[in-house]
Amino acid sequence: MKHLITGGAGFIGCNLAHTLLAEHEQVTVLDNLSRPGTAQNLAWLREQHGTSFQFVQADVRDAVAVQTAVQGHAVVYHLAGQVAVTTSVNNPREDFEINALGSFNVLEAARQATPMPIFFYASTNKVYGGMEQVQIVEQPTRYAYADLPAGVSETQPLDFHSPYGCSKGTADQYVRDYSRIYGLRTVVFRQSCIYGPRQLGVSDQGWVAHFVIASVLNRSLTIYGDGKQVRDLLFIDDLVAAYRSALRQIDTAGGKIYNIGGGAANTLSVWSEFGPLLEKLLGQRIEVGYDDWRPGDQPVYVSDIAKAERELGWRPQVGVEEGISRLVQWVQSNQQMFA
């Protein structure tokens, strides 16, 4: 089976490509290599798999290049995108062009391909916005939902809130409706906080890796808000397993949307709880500064993953402490990547 991964040299993309190649699948990686770390990830894939995969350097905003790349593939994983809320606020036009128009280009290429491929889209929990109508309670080290013990389900109303939410949500709905209108077999994953090796997190995206990298290298850290914001965390291997499960059961998953994250069993507050765990793993005190809350930052976001468990037979296997420990070990062993 031939697989195309847009953004295939990114954090999620290269891990997915690695798994597929290890299973002797045919893989094409499409990436414009604009994000820091993607060139290193591509080199790592070459070290691991040699010339057994094809690389196409292209931008999803280039409709002609995308159409050429998609043709002949049985599965398309659309992972390429602008990934930060703060960047979208500073440059909403570029955010729109990459996330909304770029996704439309990939969708159209899939619709016009013969035969039409299975289409996966990496969406985000940010499509639910700030969820101001959901009651939040404050606890000593975290915020929590008052009435959603399992987290947020796929029935939560969309309320995009930021340019990033708007652009990702636009593509989210386009993907869903291309299934309804054109019969394209699509799956949307509204992903929560994904973390793990080969993630070069920065201050406005990939916060788990960013905190680990900064702490290992003794760089300054700023916590936006009070550090009691809660997220559910999903280790990268478990996300890749979710994609593989959905592909195996595409007759069930086709046309569906799934919240994919660590779920209620794998949550941490971003510093009140994560900080002490990281200090324990590193055996050192970590000093941080604080700044104002950032636009669109949810006090709590936890995915209700019951639908994915029920329909795909999938659930996270890597607990938070084990996953963060594995990430710490990877960062410690690859400090040259972060120079």
pLDDT tens digit sequence for 185-233? 999 999 999 999 999 887 677 899 999 999 999 999 999 999 999 999 9
In angstroms, the Cα distances linking 240 to 247, 264, 280 are 11, 19, 28
Q: Which domain holds residue 62?
A: 2-338
Q: What is the pLDDT of residues 101-134, one digit of tens each?
A: 999 999 999 999 999 999 999 999 989 988 888 9
**Cβ 10 vs Cβ 80: under 8 Å:** yes
Lookup: tokens for 331: 């960062």
C-alpha to C-alpha distance for 253 and 121, rounded to whole angstroms: 12
Residue 121, burial from CB neighbour count under 10 angstroms (0-12, 13-18, 19+): buried
Neighbours of 331 (CB within 10 A): 22
pLDDT band at 33 (very low <50, low <70, confident <90, very high): very high
In the chain, the percentage of residues whose pLDDT exceeds 70 is 99
CA dist., res. 40 & res. 337, Å (int): 8
Place of tokens 């955010």: 95
More confident residue, 170 or 298: 170
Structurally, the chain folds into a number of domains equal to: 1
pLDDT in tens, 309-326: 999 999 999 999 999 999
Would you call 243 a catalytic residue per the annotation? no
| Full-model pTM | 0.95
Q: What is the CATH number of the domain that holds 37?
A: 3.40.50.720
| Catalytically annotated residue among 121, 128, 145, 164 | 164
**Could you tell me if 99 and 87 are in contact, meaning their C-beta atoms sit under 8 angstroms apart?**
no
Q: Is the pLDDT of residue 296 over 80?
A: no
pLDDT digit string (tens) for 227-279?
999 999 999 999 999 999 999 999 999 999 999 999 999 999 999 999 999 99
Asked whether residue 71 carries a pLDDT value surpassing 90, the answer given is: yes
